[in-house]
Amino acid sequence: MQGIKAIEFKDDKLFLIDQRKLPVLFETFICESYQDVEFAIRDMVVRGAPAIGATAAYGVVLAAKEFKNQNKENFLENMGKACDDLNQARPTAVNLMWAIKRMKSIIELNKNLDVIEIHQMLEKEADIILAEDIEINKLMAKHGNEIVPQNATILTHCNTGALATAGYGTALGVIREAHYSGKDIFVYADETRPRLQGGRLTAWELKQENIPSKLIADSVAATLIRDKNIDLILVGADRIALNGDTANKIGTFMLSVVAKVYGVPFYVVAPTSTIDFDIETGEEINIEERSSEEVTHIRGNRVAPENVEVFNPAFDVTPNENITGIITEKGIVRAPFRENILKIK
Ligand code: MRU
Protein backbone atom coordinates (compact mmCIF):
# COMPACT_ATOMS: atom_id res chain seq x y z
CA MET A 1 0.00 0.00 0.00
CA GLN A 2 2.50 2.65 1.09
CA GLY A 3 6.08 2.35 2.07
CA ILE A 4 7.11 5.84 3.11
CA LYS A 5 9.24 5.54 6.25
CA ALA A 6 9.96 9.01 7.56
CA ILE A 7 11.73 7.66 10.67
CA GLU A 8 13.98 4.62 10.96
CA PHE A 9 16.42 3.65 13.71
CA LYS A 10 19.21 1.18 13.03
CA ASP A 11 22.84 0.64 14.08
CA ASP A 12 22.59 3.35 16.74
CA LYS A 13 21.61 5.98 14.18
CA LEU A 14 18.33 7.70 13.37
CA PHE A 15 17.51 8.02 9.66
CA LEU A 16 15.01 10.72 8.75
CA ILE A 17 13.63 11.63 5.34
CA ASP A 18 14.75 15.24 4.99
CA GLN A 19 11.35 16.91 4.60
CA ARG A 20 12.89 20.33 4.00
CA LYS A 21 13.99 19.10 0.57
CA LEU A 22 10.99 17.12 -0.67
CA PRO A 23 9.69 16.74 -3.31
CA VAL A 24 12.63 18.07 -5.32
CA LEU A 25 15.22 15.94 -3.54
CA PHE A 26 14.75 12.70 -1.64
CA GLU A 27 17.55 12.72 0.92
CA THR A 28 18.18 11.08 4.25
CA PHE A 29 19.27 13.09 7.27
CA ILE A 30 21.25 10.96 9.71
CA CYS A 31 21.20 11.76 13.44
CA GLU A 32 24.07 10.35 15.48
CA SER A 33 23.54 12.40 18.64
CA TYR A 34 20.61 13.84 20.55
CA GLN A 35 21.80 17.29 19.48
CA ASP A 36 21.34 16.20 15.84
CA VAL A 37 17.80 15.13 16.75
CA GLU A 38 17.05 18.42 18.47
CA PHE A 39 18.27 20.27 15.36
CA ALA A 40 16.21 18.02 13.06
CA ILE A 41 13.02 18.80 14.97
CA ARG A 42 13.74 22.52 15.31
CA ASP A 43 14.70 22.97 11.65
CA MET A 44 11.80 20.81 10.45
CA VAL A 45 13.84 18.05 8.83
CA VAL A 46 11.08 16.06 10.50
CA ARG A 47 7.73 17.63 11.33
CA GLY A 48 4.15 16.71 12.14
CA ALA A 49 3.14 16.10 15.76
CA PRO A 50 3.34 12.29 16.01
CA ALA A 51 6.57 12.17 13.95
CA ILE A 52 8.16 14.77 16.22
CA GLY A 53 7.21 12.67 19.27
CA ALA A 54 8.71 9.44 17.92
CA THR A 55 11.84 11.26 16.73
CA ALA A 56 12.35 12.85 20.15
CA ALA A 57 12.07 9.39 21.76
CA TYR A 58 15.03 8.26 19.63
CA GLY A 59 16.81 11.46 20.65
CA VAL A 60 16.64 10.18 24.23
CA VAL A 61 18.07 6.83 23.05
CA LEU A 62 20.98 8.61 21.36
CA ALA A 63 21.63 10.61 24.53
CA ALA A 64 21.76 7.35 26.52
CA LYS A 65 24.24 5.95 24.00
CA GLU A 66 26.43 9.02 24.44
CA PHE A 67 26.39 8.87 28.25
CA LYS A 68 26.40 5.12 28.80
CA ASN A 69 30.04 4.97 29.87
CA GLN A 70 29.46 7.38 32.72
CA ASN A 71 28.66 6.50 36.30
CA LYS A 72 24.98 6.33 37.22
CA GLU A 73 24.83 9.74 38.84
CA ASN A 74 26.39 11.57 35.89
CA PHE A 75 24.34 9.51 33.46
CA LEU A 76 21.08 10.46 35.16
CA GLU A 77 22.05 14.11 35.37
CA ASN A 78 23.04 14.31 31.71
CA MET A 79 19.94 12.42 30.62
CA GLY A 80 17.80 14.96 32.46
CA LYS A 81 19.50 17.77 30.60
CA ALA A 82 19.19 16.03 27.22
CA CYS A 83 15.46 15.44 27.83
CA ASP A 84 15.00 19.13 28.69
CA ASP A 85 16.82 20.21 25.51
CA LEU A 86 14.77 17.88 23.31
CA ASN A 87 11.56 18.98 25.03
CA GLN A 88 12.19 22.56 23.93
CA ALA A 89 12.91 21.87 20.26
CA ARG A 90 9.42 23.03 19.25
CA PRO A 91 6.72 24.36 21.57
CA THR A 92 3.28 23.56 20.16
CA ALA A 93 2.96 19.85 19.29
CA VAL A 94 2.32 18.18 22.64
CA ASN A 95 3.38 14.78 21.27
CA LEU A 96 6.96 15.96 21.80
CA MET A 97 6.44 16.51 25.54
CA TRP A 98 4.30 13.35 25.73
CA ALA A 99 7.10 11.21 24.25
CA ILE A 100 9.81 12.75 26.43
CA LYS A 101 7.65 12.18 29.52
CA ARG A 102 7.19 8.55 28.51
CA MET A 103 10.95 8.09 28.01
CA LYS A 104 11.71 9.79 31.33
CA SER A 105 9.36 7.42 33.11
CA ILE A 106 11.37 4.48 31.67
CA ILE A 107 14.52 6.01 33.16
CA GLU A 108 12.78 6.52 36.50
CA LEU A 109 11.31 3.01 36.60
CA ASN A 110 14.65 1.41 35.75
CA LYS A 111 17.02 3.68 37.61
CA ASN A 112 18.25 0.80 39.75
CA LEU A 113 19.49 -1.10 36.69
CA ASP A 114 22.92 -0.47 35.26
CA VAL A 115 23.35 2.22 32.65
CA ILE A 116 23.78 -0.21 29.73
CA GLU A 117 20.45 -1.83 30.62
CA ILE A 118 18.69 1.54 30.89
CA HIS A 119 19.97 2.36 27.40
CA GLN A 120 18.49 -0.92 26.11
CA MET A 121 15.15 -0.27 27.83
CA LEU A 122 15.01 3.19 26.26
CA GLU A 123 15.63 1.84 22.77
CA LYS A 124 12.88 -0.72 23.27
CA GLU A 125 10.45 1.99 24.41
CA ALA A 126 11.22 4.23 21.42
CA ASP A 127 10.62 1.24 19.11
CA ILE A 128 7.27 0.68 20.83
CA ILE A 129 6.28 4.35 20.41
CA LEU A 130 7.07 4.16 16.68
CA ALA A 131 5.26 0.84 16.12
CA GLU A 132 2.25 1.89 18.22
CA ASP A 133 1.84 5.08 16.22
CA ILE A 134 1.27 3.14 12.99
CA GLU A 135 -1.29 0.89 14.70
CA ILE A 136 -3.04 3.93 16.20
CA ASN A 137 -3.16 5.62 12.79
CA LYS A 138 -4.77 2.55 11.26
CA LEU A 139 -7.41 2.50 14.00
CA MET A 140 -8.14 6.21 13.45
CA ALA A 141 -8.37 5.55 9.73
CA LYS A 142 -10.99 2.85 10.33
CA HIS A 143 -13.10 5.04 12.64
CA GLY A 144 -12.69 8.02 10.33
CA ASN A 145 -13.67 6.10 7.21
CA GLU A 146 -17.11 5.59 8.74
CA ILE A 147 -17.94 9.27 8.28
CA VAL A 148 -16.55 9.54 4.72
CA PRO A 149 -19.41 9.37 2.19
CA GLN A 150 -19.11 7.49 -1.12
CA ASN A 151 -17.67 9.76 -3.82
CA ALA A 152 -16.72 12.36 -1.21
CA THR A 153 -14.69 15.40 -2.12
CA ILE A 154 -12.42 16.09 0.82
CA LEU A 155 -10.42 19.19 1.65
CA THR A 156 -7.29 18.86 3.77
CA HIS A 157 -4.66 21.22 5.14
CA CYS A 158 -0.93 20.88 5.80
CA ASN A 159 0.62 17.40 5.74
CA THR A 160 -0.82 14.77 8.05
CA GLY A 161 0.39 11.69 6.22
CA ALA A 162 3.09 9.06 6.51
CA LEU A 163 5.66 11.86 6.64
CA ALA A 164 4.01 13.49 9.65
CA THR A 165 3.72 10.26 11.64
CA ALA A 166 5.41 6.87 11.98
CA GLY A 167 3.39 5.83 8.93
CA TYR A 168 -0.05 6.00 7.28
CA GLY A 169 -1.03 9.35 8.81
CA THR A 170 -3.87 10.95 10.73
CA ALA A 171 -6.20 12.97 8.45
CA LEU A 172 -4.34 11.63 5.42
CA GLY A 173 -4.64 8.16 6.95
CA VAL A 174 -8.45 8.49 6.85
CA ILE A 175 -8.15 9.66 3.24
CA ARG A 176 -5.95 6.62 2.42
CA GLU A 177 -8.43 4.27 4.08
CA ALA A 178 -11.38 5.79 2.21
CA HIS A 179 -9.49 5.50 -1.09
CA TYR A 180 -8.39 1.90 -0.56
CA SER A 181 -11.87 0.90 0.61
CA GLY A 182 -13.10 1.87 -2.85
CA LYS A 183 -15.04 5.02 -2.03
CA ASP A 184 -13.97 6.90 -5.12
CA ILE A 185 -12.93 10.01 -3.23
CA PHE A 186 -11.32 13.20 -4.53
CA VAL A 187 -8.96 15.33 -2.47
CA TYR A 188 -8.18 19.04 -2.55
CA ALA A 189 -4.91 19.77 -0.76
CA ASP A 190 -4.21 23.29 0.50
CA GLU A 191 -0.65 24.27 -0.36
CA THR A 192 -0.21 25.57 3.23
CA ARG A 193 1.90 28.70 3.15
CA PRO A 194 4.47 29.53 4.30
CA ARG A 195 6.23 26.13 4.57
CA LEU A 196 4.14 24.53 1.81
CA GLN A 197 3.62 21.22 3.60
CA GLY A 198 0.50 20.68 1.45
CA GLY A 199 2.16 21.49 -1.85
CA ARG A 200 5.47 19.81 -1.18
CA LEU A 201 4.46 16.85 1.01
CA THR A 202 0.72 16.06 0.84
CA ALA A 203 0.56 16.45 -2.93
CA TRP A 204 3.65 14.20 -3.14
CA GLU A 205 2.12 11.50 -0.91
CA LEU A 206 -1.16 11.60 -2.83
CA LYS A 207 0.67 11.33 -6.15
CA GLN A 208 2.79 8.40 -4.91
CA GLU A 209 -0.40 6.40 -4.40
CA ASN A 210 -2.47 7.75 -7.26
CA ILE A 211 -5.17 9.12 -4.99
CA PRO A 212 -7.18 11.52 -7.20
CA SER A 213 -6.37 15.05 -6.09
CA LYS A 214 -5.73 18.66 -6.92
CA LEU A 215 -3.41 21.09 -5.22
CA ILE A 216 -4.88 24.54 -4.46
CA ALA A 217 -3.55 27.83 -3.12
CA ASP A 218 -4.87 28.31 0.41
CA SER A 219 -7.06 31.20 -0.69
CA VAL A 220 -9.07 28.95 -3.03
CA ALA A 221 -10.60 26.92 -0.20
CA ALA A 222 -13.42 29.36 0.70
CA THR A 223 -14.68 29.46 -2.87
CA LEU A 224 -14.71 25.66 -3.11
CA ILE A 225 -16.60 25.38 0.17
CA ARG A 226 -19.16 28.05 -0.75
CA ASP A 227 -19.79 26.48 -4.15
CA LYS A 228 -20.62 23.15 -2.55
CA ASN A 229 -17.59 21.41 -3.96
CA ILE A 230 -16.47 20.04 -0.59
CA ASP A 231 -18.29 17.32 1.38
CA LEU A 232 -15.86 17.03 4.26
CA ILE A 233 -12.84 18.73 5.76
CA LEU A 234 -10.21 16.59 7.50
CA VAL A 235 -7.28 18.12 9.37
CA GLY A 236 -4.73 16.96 11.93
CA ALA A 237 -3.80 18.50 15.27
CA ASP A 238 -0.75 19.54 17.23
CA ARG A 239 -2.42 19.99 20.60
CA ILE A 240 -6.00 19.57 21.72
CA ALA A 241 -7.23 21.13 24.96
CA LEU A 242 -9.70 19.39 27.29
CA ASN A 243 -12.57 21.47 25.89
CA GLY A 244 -11.73 20.36 22.31
CA ASP A 245 -10.06 23.60 21.18
CA THR A 246 -7.45 22.44 18.66
CA ALA A 247 -4.12 23.89 17.64
CA ASN A 248 -3.13 22.93 14.12
CA LYS A 249 -1.23 24.42 11.19
CA ILE A 250 -1.86 28.10 10.58
CA GLY A 251 -4.90 28.49 8.32
CA THR A 252 -6.90 25.69 9.93
CA PHE A 253 -9.00 28.14 11.99
CA MET A 254 -9.90 30.11 8.86
CA LEU A 255 -11.07 26.90 7.14
CA SER A 256 -13.18 25.98 10.15
CA VAL A 257 -14.95 29.36 10.07
CA VAL A 258 -15.87 29.02 6.40
CA ALA A 259 -16.92 25.40 6.96
CA LYS A 260 -19.27 26.49 9.75
CA VAL A 261 -20.84 29.24 7.65
CA TYR A 262 -21.60 26.79 4.83
CA GLY A 263 -22.43 23.75 6.98
CA VAL A 264 -19.56 21.54 5.86
CA PRO A 265 -18.50 18.86 8.40
CA PHE A 266 -15.12 19.70 9.90
CA TYR A 267 -13.24 16.83 11.57
CA VAL A 268 -9.94 16.78 13.43
CA VAL A 269 -8.03 13.48 13.23
CA ALA A 270 -5.52 12.96 16.04
CA PRO A 271 -4.25 10.29 18.42
CA THR A 272 -4.95 10.67 22.15
CA SER A 273 -1.23 11.51 22.56
CA THR A 274 -2.12 14.87 20.95
CA ILE A 275 -4.62 15.67 23.70
CA ASP A 276 -3.17 17.80 26.46
CA PHE A 277 -5.27 16.72 29.42
CA ASP A 278 -3.51 19.35 31.57
CA ILE A 279 -5.01 22.37 29.81
CA GLU A 280 -8.62 23.44 29.85
CA THR A 281 -8.81 25.60 26.71
CA GLY A 282 -6.87 26.59 23.60
CA GLU A 283 -5.87 29.86 25.26
CA GLU A 284 -3.24 27.92 27.18
CA ILE A 285 -1.53 26.61 24.03
CA ASN A 286 1.88 28.06 23.26
CA ILE A 287 1.81 28.99 19.57
CA GLU A 288 5.21 28.82 17.89
CA GLU A 289 6.36 31.84 15.91
CA ARG A 290 8.91 31.06 13.24
CA SER A 291 11.43 33.15 11.34
CA SER A 292 10.41 35.98 9.03
CA GLU A 293 12.41 34.34 6.20
CA GLU A 294 9.69 31.69 5.92
CA VAL A 295 7.40 34.45 4.64
CA THR A 296 9.81 36.82 2.90
CA HIS A 297 11.58 34.08 0.93
CA ILE A 298 10.46 31.11 -1.15
CA ARG A 299 13.16 28.48 -1.60
CA GLY A 300 15.85 31.06 -0.91
CA ASN A 301 14.42 33.71 -3.25
CA ARG A 302 13.22 36.98 -1.76
CA VAL A 303 9.54 37.69 -2.49
CA ALA A 304 9.06 40.65 -0.11
CA PRO A 305 10.89 43.93 0.43
CA GLU A 306 14.05 43.89 2.50
CA ASN A 307 13.54 44.53 6.25
CA VAL A 308 9.75 44.23 6.04
CA GLU A 309 8.24 43.28 9.41
CA VAL A 310 6.60 39.88 9.49
CA PHE A 311 4.18 38.05 11.77
CA ASN A 312 4.60 34.32 11.28
CA PRO A 313 2.72 32.09 13.72
CA ALA A 314 3.09 28.43 12.73
CA PHE A 315 -0.23 27.34 14.22
CA ASP A 316 -3.66 28.65 15.13
CA VAL A 317 -6.40 27.45 17.44
CA THR A 318 -9.75 26.29 16.12
CA PRO A 319 -12.44 26.76 18.77
CA ASN A 320 -14.40 23.64 19.71
CA GLU A 321 -17.69 25.07 18.41
CA ASN A 322 -16.28 24.90 14.86
CA ILE A 323 -15.38 21.19 15.17
CA THR A 324 -17.87 18.49 14.17
CA GLY A 325 -15.84 15.72 15.77
CA ILE A 326 -12.38 14.58 16.81
CA ILE A 327 -11.42 11.21 15.35
CA THR A 328 -9.09 9.33 17.71
CA GLU A 329 -7.90 5.72 17.93
CA LYS A 330 -10.52 5.22 20.64
CA GLY A 331 -13.41 6.43 18.51
CA ILE A 332 -14.98 9.71 17.41
CA VAL A 333 -15.43 12.34 20.12
CA ARG A 334 -18.21 14.89 19.68
CA ALA A 335 -19.66 17.70 21.79
CA PRO A 336 -19.89 18.06 24.72
CA PHE A 337 -16.13 17.78 24.21
CA ARG A 338 -14.87 18.16 27.78
CA GLU A 339 -17.10 15.39 29.05
CA ASN A 340 -16.38 13.08 26.12
CA ILE A 341 -12.63 13.77 25.99
CA LEU A 342 -12.35 12.81 29.66
CA LYS A 343 -14.06 9.49 28.84
CA ILE A 344 -11.18 8.50 26.51
CA LYS A 345 -8.36 9.54 28.86
O1 MRU B 1 4.76 22.73 11.41
P2 MRU B 1 4.41 21.30 11.12
O3 MRU B 1 4.63 20.91 9.71
O4 MRU B 1 5.08 20.37 12.12
O5 MRU B 1 2.85 21.23 11.39
C6 MRU B 1 2.19 20.03 11.19
C7 MRU B 1 0.73 20.13 11.40
O8 MRU B 1 0.19 21.16 11.74
C9 MRU B 1 -0.06 18.88 11.27
O10 MRU B 1 -1.35 19.15 10.82
C11 MRU B 1 -0.16 18.20 12.64
O12 MRU B 1 1.10 18.05 13.23
C13 MRU B 1 -0.81 16.88 12.57
S14 MRU B 1 0.21 15.75 11.70
C15 MRU B 1 -0.34 14.21 11.76
pLDDT digits (tens, 9 = 90+) for 178-216: 999 999 999 999 999 999 999 999 999 999 999 999 999
Rounded to the nearest angstrom, the distance between the alpha carbon of 126 and the centre of ligand 1 is: 20
Residues 170 and 276 in one domain: yes
Q: What are 10-41's pLDDT values in tens digits?
A: 999 999 999 999 999 999 999 999 999 999 99
Residues facing 213 on adjacent strands: 187
In whole angstroms, give the CA distance from residue 176 to residue 179.
Answer: 5
Going by pLDDT thresholds of 50, 70 and 90, the confidence category of residue 151 is: very high
Q: What is the CATH number of the domain that holds 109?
A: 1.20.120.420
Ligand 1 atom showing the smallest separation from residue 93 Cα:
12
Using a pLDDT cut of 90, give the percent of the chain over it. Answer: 99
Inside any domain, residue 132: yes
Tell me, yes or no, if the pTM score tops 0.85. Answer: yes
Ligand 1 atom showing the smallest separation from residue 288 Cα:
1
Rounded to the nearest angstrom, the distance between the alpha carbon of 77 and the centre of ligand 1 is: 32
pLDDT value of residue 5: 94
Inside any domain, residue 228: yes
Q: What are 294-325's pLDDT values in tens digits?
A: 999 998 999 999 999 999 999 999 999 999 99
Is the per-residue pLDDT at 52 higher than 90?
yes
In whole angstroms, give the CA distance from residue 182 to residue 304.
Answer: 45
Is the per-residue pLDDT at 173 higher than 80?
yes
pLDDT value of residue 3: 79
Domain count, the chain: 2
In degrees and rounded to multiples of 5, residue 223 shows phi and psi of -65, -45
Mutate to test the pocket of ligand 1, among 18, 46, 160 (most ligand atoms within 8 A of CB): 160
**Structural domain ending residue among the three candidates 78, 113, 137:** 137
| Residue 329 CB coordination number (10 Å) | 21
Inside any domain, residue 1: no
**Structural domain ending residue among the three candidates 75, 103, 137:** 137
Sign of the dihedral through C-alpha 68, 70, 71, 77? negative
Output the average pLDDT for the chain: 97
pLDDT value of residue 192: 98
Q: What are 226-238's pLDDT values in tens digits?
A: 999 999 999 999 9
Ligand 1 atom showing the smallest separation from residue 314 Cα:
1
Inside any domain, residue 70: yes
Inside any domain, residue 296: yes
Residues 175 and 308 in one domain: yes
Inside any domain, residue 321: yes
Residues 174 and 108 in one domain: no
Residues 226 and 332 in one domain: yes
Residues 162 and 241 in one domain: yes
Q: What is the CATH number of the domain that holds 164?
A: 3.40.50.10470
Residues 37 and 162 in one domain: no
In whole angstroms, give the CA distance from residue 65 to residue 272.
Answer: 30
**158 pocket-lining for ligand 1 (C-beta < 6 Å):** yes
256 burial type by CB count under 10 A (0-12 exposed, 13-18 middle, 19+ buried): buried
Residues 294 and 218 in one domain: yes
Rounded to the nearest angstrom, the distance between the alpha carbon of 281 and the centre of ligand 1 is: 19
Inside any domain, residue 28: yes
Is the per-residue pLDDT at 158 higher than 80?
yes
Q: Could you tell me the residue range of the domain that residue 283 belongs to?
A: 144-343
Q: What are 279-294's pLDDT values in tens digits?
A: 999 999 999 999 999 9
Rounded to the nearest angstrom, the distance between the alpha carbon of 235 and the centre of ligand 1 is: 9
Residues 41 and 167 in one domain: no
pLDDT value of residue 35: 98
Is the per-residue pLDDT at 2 higher than 50?
no
Inside any domain, residue 105: yes
Q: What are 71-86's pLDDT values in tens digits?
A: 999 999 999 999 999 9
Give catalytic residues, as residue numbers. 238
